[in-house]
Structure 1
Amino acid sequence: MAPDAPVPRWITASPVTTEAPPEYRHDLDGLRGIAIALVVGFHVWMGRVSGGVDVFLVLSGFFFTAMLLRRSASADGVGIAATLRRTARRLTPALVVVLAAVVVTTIAVRPFTQWGDISGQTLASALYLQNWFLANAELDYLAPNPSVSPLQHLWSMSVQGQFYLLMLLVVAAWAWLARRVSRRTGRIGLSILLGAAAALSFWYAVDGASRHQPWTYYDSGARAWELLAGALLAIAAPAVRLPNPVRTLLAILGILGVLTCGVLFDGANQFPGAPALYPVLATAALILAGTNAGAERQPWVNRVLATGVCTGLGTVAYAFYLWHWPILIFYLAEYGAPAAGLTDGLVVVGLALALAVLTHRFVESPLRHGAFASSRLAEALRRRMLIPAVCALGAALLGATVGWQASLRVHPATPPVALQVAQYPGAAALVPGVVYAAAPMRPNLFEGWNDSPAPTRDGCITPDREVRSCVYGDLTATRTIAVVGGSHSEHWLPALEVLAADHGIRIVTYLKEACPLTLVDDPAYYHSPFPECREWSVDVIDRLARTKPDWVFTLGTYYRVDGRGDEVPAEFRDVWTALSNRGLNVLAMRDTPRLRRDGVLYRAIDCLGGHGTPQSCGLDRALVLDPVNPAIDATSAYPNVYPLDLSDSLCRPDRCWVAEGNVLIYRDEHHLTASYARSLAPELGRQIGEITNWW
């Protein structure tokens, strides 16, 4: 989501060309200042996407493409190597400093269980691949909290970097061809090419946002149309001649669009689909309003944007953006707060702004413009100290992150396949009279995240609209249980596999990430509309009606998003009705407690890695579970739906620990480890046996 570096000075210091250099756009510097203020303000105090990043993307496409077009008209041409050097000199130093600060701070104040992930994200950010790292992790870009990465915001820097490289090659190829035809013909051809690419990207973004928005949010192909919109404006700019009333109208509409975008749209869950047209068109309007107008003829809105306060903020926008997010995330993590209040938010903003000014003054400017001041001493300091220091810091950063990632791959944390029950009783430790000796916890803190059920490892839980069906257990058995829903249905599979081996059961899975069965587009328990989940659920229910498994195993309760305990959402009852109408029997499992304090989720391994204990890292049972399983009353109206409840095998009467019987219970904030799930098989088998009379 990062803005580009300060607006390049190609406008006043360009190679000799046959065209007069355009006037410097101070108003667009100011627009960047307004955009960064919105980004930071919305992140810190509102936990929303402001649309400011989309403004940055359009401006980046506009300035970078215009720079390439001007250079292509010079005697030396585009100059691929020179452009890469100049762009790297503008963007890399400040990025290296911030990445180094994040790594050092992580080592100093965060549990060691986070080091591997941060090193991977640091490497991805340094190589301008962070957006793909996040897309693969399928992280939702929601309100910041301590469980969010301090480098998550650098996804847009990666998108921009990839765009710069591709656009550089495209314009260089175009410049070579343009020398063989008329320049006017070449510009028309380039416009058609980029326009077609923008249209294709926009279609891809709209389609992707409706199918799998969390991935699409970070997808370079889905974001390209925003940058290409700026590129097309750069091509059209020389021909723009608008009457003053039209300029004024465009400027007013543009600034209103920029200022209101974050209030009118839920960008984290809607962009880069069709709603992103709002900030993109607003930015385009402001660009057009001031194009070829001259400072004295620009609309009053553009003149306000060109004032010192706005342009001053725009000058440090890049560094301000780099610093604000990690400072906010480290603050929230350190104090365990779900959000920053007014006073604390001002501290975060003030610190980020101060560091941005220092970074711009002592890192960006000297390396971009050549000196701290016009003195030989300053130039000597720059060449002999600053440049080597930044290069050494970057080399150390890359060396450390590559080394850590290589070590993790050479020595992977392999979770246990099976544990000795006598030494690792797991859930059996909660049974009165069971005696066992203390032993090192398994899976350990490095193994926990990987101790997942089979569908996560073999791809049988789908991240998208596709319905995937896999078979586990006894493949020849005549008795079938269909495990259906999201990951909270999936994480019971290891226990069901134990029962399948003991009693001859065929297990068929229909699983989709973050998708309990639902028949509505916007479930009340979910944080945003999820029509893809409904479409998938309808298809799965139809398949179940055709295949007729003996039992459907799915989720029966859900945690109260805004309160204590758990409940049966109305959407679950609708699903039970649909399954009942198709003659299907249902095993409705009570959901597992989620680790959260003050609404903030946290990982068990992070708490334990930060010197917590299984007890202190747990939660009071009354906070996460109602005294009586709410599904008991809810299922009484459905003769084919039977509740399952293993809460007493997960929690003690007063508190839910994060490890029992020497076995880690949670592999993250709310999913069971496969090892602990297997220890639940005896109690799960007892309850299923009573309901089905299979044994």
Structure 2
Amino acid sequence: MSTDLEAPLTRRRARALHAARHALRVPPVPRDFRSDIEGLRALAVLAVMLWHAGVPLPGGFVGVDVFFVVSGFLMTSLLLEEGRARGRIDLGRFYARRARRLLPAALAALAGTALLTVLFLPRGRWGEVGGDLLASATYVVNWRMAWRSVDYLDLERAPSPLQHYWSLSVEEQFYLVWPVVLLLVLVYAAGRARVFSTLTWVLTLGLLTGSLLVSWRWTLEEPAAYFVTPTRVHELMLGAVVALGARAWPRLPRAVAAALGWLGLGLVGVAFVVITAQTPFPGLWALLPTVGVALVLVAGPAAGGLGPVALLRARPLQWVGRLSYSLYLWHWPFVAVAAEMVHVGRGGPDTLPVHWGLLAVGLSVLPAWWSFALVEDPVRRHGRVLAARLPPGVVVRRTLRLGVNCTLAGAALGLALLLAAPQSETEQAARWRTPDVVEQLRSPVGADTLAVGVDDPAPAEAGGGTGPVVAASAGSGASDVLGEPPPVVQIPERVGDLAVPLQQVPDDVPVLEPEECFVALGGTRVGVCEGGDPEGEVTVALIGDSHAGMWMTAMDAIGRDRGWRVLAMTKSSCPPARGLVVERSGQAGDYRQCTRWQQRLDEALVRESPDVVLLSSASYGTTGDEKVAAGLGARIDMLLEEGMRPALVRDVPRAPFDVPACLLENEDDVPRCAFDREQGLATSGTGHDLLAEQRPGLPVLDLTDAVCPGRTCSPIVGEVVVWRDSNHLSATYVRSLRDVVEEQVSPVVLADRLGEAVRSGVAVGTGR
């Protein structure tokens, strides 16, 4: 009987011997349970939850960055330990452990979020949430948020209940790539500990530095920088640095380690207070909390009871830390539902009231506990049972299969929600340069059905009507000359048959050509959208935000008929003011992209040299009437100095809710989606009324009477939905306003052509 030493040297045995030799040459990484890490998790999730609830903790959102550093440390420690103990990194085993730890609990939260969506969110939002659910299940939702230029810090808009999955996507992408990188280094080193150590340090520090530079640069330029993985890698790599130096940290003098640990915890606490939604983040500011976390991790082994663990090991924090993953998954969907219920960003409060936020977060604790007790912890413990009973390869295959099934189930939930949502044509198919449907399907439709030249009396009941009616007035005309009673437009009881299907209305947007000429949130260049007659002798330009761009549909038709060259120079959420720093609630720092765009607009206007410039903009309540009016006034002065004739297009009434979504929920009760005109005007066009008062000679084009003919605004006029959301007119309705717009723009163009001074009464409608 041969001994083990006499056994033949097979390929498998050779690998085992090589692994054993290698195992002696890679520094060991401590893997004992650390209560300070559990406490850090608790602080991080509590900060995020309280901030989402509206509690005045300005930098609570940086709790996510605490998680990133801890994850980078733990995952790198695990991989290094496997490399030390086995001489290799088993990717299948690593991915299986991550799948068992993360995916079942994530699927439970996805299923709960889908249920909350169906129960509490309007059907018009199901498609959006379904897409987010699909992206969350496949861990790419951070890129979806970046592509849509979602502002995570903007609490004034109805949030996606799955927006918080962006951070999980970043971590999962890290988990996919980092083990492969370390494995390649391990293979290349071939047991040479110094080579392995040197290359790993070089790669880690290189990724940390490169990502930090990218984060600093992109944060100054792109709102999407908050979500994308390259701007967050440095935080994970900071945790990896702590793991790589794990052999040295226990040698620190106890007093020094304790001082470093408390300093680090202090930095995290300071970050929760001094970093705000106006701080350019992540960028260099992310170093404040992340370096703090790294110092706590460094100090832990040597500081002992003198370090932050004295505080972090408190029993309540340990309990919260155990539940931190489930709490993070479940709290935000409840907050998003609460925001929907109180109509945040849809006519309700500007931000979620604290008492609603705390109620939502408090309610989320129960399903989070159930998820932990019934899914997360049992699945994890079952993995240990399998590992004790079955061969490692079998356990890995079963666990990976579990992970794939969880991913497929989550994706199926997203697809189901997408299919259950009101169906619409694709955005591209729903866009018309000039909506032929207006002429082809129903003529007249929209504003074409309104009477002209009628004063705006109080609402009156129409004989034989089926619902509330409002008096109509759209400019000048002759219906009252004939001695007929003032006509009215009736708010229909039911949605009925529309010129544009209700599900398609959100996509009923103007076509701005060439492609991407409308500048999104992150852009700073000035795109020039072209319409009308390219060879026209008169050039009319629309400048401002999307509320200026929405008039392009009518101006394009007018320009082609009248021989005008029509241009649009517009940028999302950016008024055409000059020298104005826009304050956007939730924006990470001032809206610097808008400021740069405004500066470059000067050059574009001089280059294009339009004859007439129409200015318009939306509501900028956080900036204020005085500042916006002053900025618009400065723009008008600039235009006059350059020989261009300015005119203001008064913003239209803003609905206190998403109009198509309301109609989808109230197809048999349309009057529920009507709203008060004066209130709508009060929340629209920041600074417009003040500007008109300050400059009585400025032509003001006011289409209010044609959009909201009466004291109550009807969501449907002439079988056309007027608003495609809460504040933009549908392109089809704007097209039906063609004649009214022409009637008000033509005198301004004529005055310019005749070289006359702009008169105070030219093309002015009170709209009141």
Aligned to 1:299: 306
Instruction: Work out whether residues 146 and 330 of structure 1, in 8 Å CA contact, stay in contact via their aligned partners in 2.
Output: no
CA, structure 1 residues 74+29, in 2 after alignment: closer, same or farther (shift >3 Å)?
same
Which one-letter code corresponds to 1:683 in the other structure? V
Contact 1:29–1:315 (Cα < 8 Å) also in 2:
yes
Alignment map for 1:45-56 (pairs within 5 Å) = 45-46=54-55, 49-50=59-60, 51-56=62-67
- Measured after TM superposition, the shift of residue 35 of structure 1 is 0.9
Return 432-441 or 681-690, whichever deviates more.
Answer: 432-441
3-state DSSP of counterpart to 2:699: strand
Determine if contact 1:93/1:363 at 8 Å carries over to the other structure: yes
Question: Is 1:594 equivalent to 2:654 in the alignment?
Answer: yes
The question of whether the paired residues in 2 share the 8 Å contact of 1:222 and 1:272 is answered with: yes
- Is 1:585–1:640's contact at 8 Å kept on the other side of the alignment? no
Letter in 1 for 2:332: W
How far off its partner does 1:429 sit?
A: 3.5
Q: Which runs of 5 or more structure 2 residues have no equivalent in the other structure?
A: 1-21, 389-394, 452-471, 473-478, 480-486, 754-768
CA gap of 1:314–1:526, structure 2 versus 1, over 3 A, is closer
The alpha carbon displacement at 1:394 in A equals 5.5
Per mean C-alpha deviation after superposition, the further-off stretch among 48-57 and 628-637 is 628-637
Q: 1:277 aligns with which of 264, 287, 292?
A: 287
Contact 1:659 1:665 in 2 (8 A): yes
* 1:369 partner letter: R
8 Å CA contact 1:631–1:643 kept in 2: the answer is no
State the 1:677 CA deviation. Answer: 1.1
What corresponds to 1:57 in structure 2?
A: 68
After superposition, the C-alpha distances for 1:640-667 in whole angstroms (9 at most, x for unaligned) are 8422111111113312232222111222
Q: 1:499 matched to which residue of 2?
A: 558
Equivalent residue in structure 1 for 2:548, among 472, 484, 489:
489
**Distance in 1 (alpha carbons) for counterparts of 2:73 and 2:400:** 29
Match of 2:645 among 580, 585, 609: 585
Deviation, 1:147, is: 1.4
Partner of 1:4: none
Superposed displacement of residue 442, structure 1 = 3.5
Question: Once the 2 structures are TM-superposed, how far is the Cα of residue 92 of structure 1 from its aligned partner?
Answer: 0.4
Could you say if the C-alpha distance between residues 628 and 617 of structure 1 is closer, same or farther in structure 2, counting changes exceeding 3 Å?
Answer: closer
| Distance in 2, Cα, partners of 1:635 & 1:628 | 14
Partner in structure 1 of residue 722 of structure 2: 665
Match of 1:538 in 2: 599
1:580: Cα distance to partner?
A: 2.6
Q: Kindly state the Cα deviation for residue 686 of structure 1 after the two structures are TM-superposed.
A: 0.5
1:217 aligned residue: 226
Q: Deviations over 1:40-88 (max 9, x none)?
A: 0111123755110111111111111111111122225110111111111
| Alpha-carbon distance between aligned partners in 2 of 1:423 and 1:457, rounded to the nearest angstrom | 30
- 1:125 aligned partner: 136
Deviation at 1:331, TM superposition (A): 2.4
Amino acid at match of 1:361: A
Cα contact 1:146–1:329 (8 A) shared by 2: no
Q: 1:367 to 1:22 in 2, by over 3 A?
A: closer
- In 1, distance between residues paired with 2:105 and 2:513? 38
Distance 1:521 1:633 in 2: 16
1:150 corresponds to: 161
Q: Is the 8 A contact 1:90 1:364 kept in 2?
A: yes
The alpha carbon displacement at 1:577 in A equals 2.4
| Correspondence list, 1:386-405, <5 A | 395-402=408-415
- Partner SS state of residue 45, structure 1: coil
Q: How big is each residue's C-alpha offset from its partner over 1:183-220, in whole Å with a ceiling of 9 and x where there is no partner? A: 133222221122122212111111111112x2111111
What residue number does 1:106 align with?
117
- What is the distance in 2 between the residues matched to 1:350 and 1:435? 50
* Aligned mate of 1:135, from 143, 146, 157: 146
Partners of 2:333 and 2:359 lie apart in 1 by: 13
Shift of 1:346: 4.1
Aligned match of 1:35: 44
Q: Which has the larger radius of gyration?
A: 2
Retained in 2: the 8 A contact 1:424–1:663? no
Aligned residues: CA RMSD:
3.5
Structure 1 match to 2:183: 172
| Residue aligned with 2:503, SS | coil
TM-score, with length taken from structure 2: 0.79
Judged with a 3 Å threshold, the aligned counterparts in structure 2 of structure 1 residues 329 and 440 are, in CA distance, closer, same or farther, namely same
Q: Give per-residue Cα distances to partners, 1:90-142, cap 9 Å, x unaligned.
A: 11001111111111222233222112111111110000000011111111113
2:268 corresponds to 1:263: no
Retained in 1: the 8 A contact 2:170–2:229?
A: yes
Change (3 A) 1:33 1:112: same
Partner Cα separation in structure 2 for residue 553 and residue 149 of structure 1: 35
Q: What are the residue-to-residue correspondences of 1:597-608 with 2, within 5 Å?
A: 602-608=657-663
Residue deviations 1:351-382, cap 9 Å, x none?
A: 222222221111111111218999x9xxxxx9
SS of alignment partner, residue 482 of structure 1: strand
Question: Which residue of 2 is the match for residue 512 of structure 1?
Answer: 571
1:621 lines up with 2:677 in the alignment: yes
Helix, strand or coil for the counterpart of 1:625? helix
Task: Report the more deviating stretch, 408-417 or 649-658.
Answer: 408-417
Aligned to 1:332: 339
* 2: CA distance, partners of 1:340 / 1:96: 27
Q: CA deviation at 1:451?
A: 1.0
Tell me which of 380, 389, 397 is aligned to 1:368. Answer: 380
Decide whether aligned partners of structure 1 residues 257 and 349 sit closer, same or farther in structure 2, where only a CA change above 3 A counts.
same
Matches within 5 A, 1:356-435: 356-370=368-382, 395-402=408-415, 412=426, 414-415=429-430, 417-420=435-438, 423=443, 425-431=445-451, 432=472
SS at match of 2:246: helix
**8 A Cα contact 1:586 1:640, kept in partner:** no
Deviations 1:617-674 (A, max 9, x none): 2321221325999746635766984221111111133122322221112222222211
Q: 2:532, 2:560 within 8 Å by CA — same for their partners in 1? A: yes
- Distance (Å, rounded) in 1 between the aligned partners of 2:402 and 2:706: 56
Q: Output the CA distance in 2 between the equivalents of 1:312 and 1:186.
A: 38
1:570 to 604, 614, 630: 630
d(CA) in 1 for partners of 2:139 and 2:50?
A: 25
In 1, Cα distance between the equivalents of 2:672 and 2:48? 36
Match for residue 85 of structure 2 among 74, 80, 102: 74
Gaps of 5+ in 1: 1-15, 377-381, 597-601
Aligned equivalents of 2:436, 2:59: Cα separation in 1: 45
Compute the displacement of 1:566 (Å). 11
User: What is the number of residues matched between the two proteins?
Assistant: 663
Q: 1:429–1:435: 8 Å Cα contact kept in structure 2? A: no
Could you say if the C-alpha distance between residues 88 and 457 of structure 1 is closer, same or farther in structure 2, counting changes exceeding 3 Å?
Answer: farther
Q: 1:190 aligns with which of 189, 197, 200?
A: 200
CA–CA distance in structure 1, aligned partners of residues 582 and 443 of structure 2 = 43
- In the alignment, is residue 85 of structure 1 matched against residue 85 of structure 2? no
Corresponding residue of 2:484: none
Distance 1:142 1:255, change over 3 A: same
In structure 1, the residue matched to 2:460 is: none
Residues 319 and 357 in structure 1, CA contact (< 8 A), matched pair in contact too:
yes
**How high is the TM-score relative to the length of structure 1?**
0.87
Determine the C-alpha separation between the residues in 2 that align with 1:145 and 1:471: 33
Partner Cα distance (1:684, 1:631) in 2: 18
Query: Match for residue 360 of structure 2?
Result: 348
| Residues 1:313 and 1:592: Cα distance change in structure 2 (over 3 Å) | same
Q: Distance in 2 between matches of 1:637 and 1:45?
A: 38
Q: Which segment drifts farther, 302-311 or 20-29?
A: 20-29
1:218 partner letter: F
What secondary structure does 1:215 align onto? helix
Q: Is the 8 A contact 1:57 1:227 kept in 2?
A: yes
* Alignment match, 2:758: none
SS of 2:252's equivalent?
Answer: coil
* Alignment-mate amino acid for residue 620 of structure 1: D
Cα pair distance change 1:628/1:226, threshold 3 Å: closer
Check the 8 A contact 1:444/1:664 in 2, yes or no: no
- Shift in alpha-carbon separation, 1:548–1:390, aligned structure 2, 3 A: closer
